[in-house]
Copies of this chain bind each other. A is one copy, B any other.
Amino acid sequence: MGGSKVHRSQALAALGALAHETRLDLIRLLIPTGTAGMPAGQIAQALGLAAPRLSFHLSALEQAGLLQSRKVARNVIYSVDATGVGQTISYLLNDCCCDHPEVLAACRHRPDTVSGQGAALPGTDRT
């Protein structure tokens, strides 16, 4: 069984892809749609993006392993690759920050929301 670890270059590509306003907007738009996703045209309309520009950024996210696409009729439907996104975050949290307790704590606290609702985070105090 091959352990396919997330390579640094993979995480680097994903971080680079996330480090752009438009592409972050794309993720935010597509996350709630889950597996169903959304056709490119509808995305363009939702965010007010020119078609080539949208295509450029969608392609960047897909190549970084953060988005998936499938063709339906004449539309191309994009949806987030939850595994890719999760692994990218996991790389930061686990490999890069070595489960640094303060990082985990800052990550668990919702900085803006009321206390009493803890955000679910990868179990650190579990076995």
Contact = CB atoms under 8 A, between A and B. Distances in A.
Interface string A21-42: 1001001100110100000000
Q: How big is the A interface, by class?
A: 35 or more
Contacts of A91: 111
B103 A68 contact: no
B89 A107 contact: yes
Contacts of A106: 82-87, 89-90
B3 A112 contact: yes
A122 B108 contact: yes
Contacts of A108: 90, 122-123
Nearest to A72: B126
A48 B22 CA distance: 35
